[in-house]
Amino acid sequence: MAEGQFEPRIVGFLCQWCSYTGADLAGTSRTEYPPNVTSIRVMCSGRVDPTFVIKALAEGADGVLIAGCHPGDCHYQVGNYKAMRRYPMLLNLLDQFGIERERVRLEWVSASEGNLFAEVVKEFTETVRALGPLNWDAKAPAEVVAG
């Protein structure tokens, strides 16, 4: 880790059945990848309410990763299709908020794809690093409210 380099904080919503297990596999295989993702296990990528993503960004995350089962493999049949549909609309919304689309990523990672998970994290971390910190000011501090 280069000194003084910006270290992105990324929140990762990983589905229990596929991608969280895949991440575990990367761990048990001792695959090296950057530590910038804080993982949150959800039962399904379809459980990821866009509010979670927005809240993460508003409260200090520089990027958000959502990972689920490959289309057709969802443990609950259709959950990942919901995530698939929410994703581009969320990006369009973030555009309007002035938040770069590249800060939010949806990936399909199966339980056996430990290496893929590591690659995704590595690549996404660099993407967000290049974008710089988000530093979202949701609540206007007093000095911003006035003047």
Partner 1 sequence: MADKPKVAFYWCASCGGCEEAVVDLAEDILKVVEAVDIALWPVALDFKLKDVQAWEPGEVTVAFINGAVRLSEQEKWVKLLREKCPLVVAFGSCSHLGGIPGLANDKTRQQILANKYLRAPTVDNPNGTLPQPETEIDGYELELPVFYKRANALDQVIDVDYYLPGCAPPPDLIMGAVQAILKGELPPKGSVLAPEKSLCDSCPRKDSKPDKLSIEKFKRLATSIPDPEECFLAQGYLCMGPATRSGCGERCINGNMPCRGCFGPPPGTLDQGAKMLSTICSVGEAETAEAAAAYADSLDDPLGTFYRFSLPVSVLGHSRRKEE
Which span sits near partner 1 by CB under 8 A: 32-40, 62-70, 80-88, 123-131? 80-88
Binding flag, residue 30, partner 1 (CB under 8 A): no
Binding flag, residue 87, partner 1 (CB under 8 A): yes
CA 68, distance to chain mean position in Å, is 11
Contact 53, 94 (CB under 8 A): no
Among 67, 90, 118, 128, binds partner 1 (CB under 8 A): 90
What's the min distance (Å) between Cβ of 28 and partner 1?
A: 31
Q: Exposure of 95 by Cβ count < 10 A (0-12 exposed, 13-18 middle, 19+ buried)?
A: exposed
Question: Judged by CB, which is closer to partner 1: 31, or 70?
Answer: 70
- Please name the helix (run of DSSP H) or strand (run of DSSP E) that holds residue 63, with its range, or none: strand 63-68
Report the C-alpha gap between 136 and 59 in whole angstroms. 7
Binding flag, residue 77, partner 1 (CB under 8 A): no
Q: Tokens at residue 58, please?
A: 């508003």
Which span sits near partner 1 by CB under 8 A: 18-26, 62-70, 111-119, 135-143? 135-143
Phi, psi torsion values for 39, nearest 5 degrees? -85, 140
- Please name the helix (run of DSSP H) or strand (run of DSSP E) that holds residue 105, with its range, or none: strand 104-108
Q: Is 43 helix (H, G, I), strand (E, B) or coil?
A: coil
Which span sits near partner 1 by CB under 8 A: 2-10, 20-28, 115-123, 132-140? 132-140
What's the min distance (Å) between Cβ of 69 and partner 1?
A: 14
Residues that bind partner 1 (CB under 8 A): 46, 49-51, 53-55, 57-58, 71, 81-82, 84-93, 95-99, 136, 138-140, 144-147
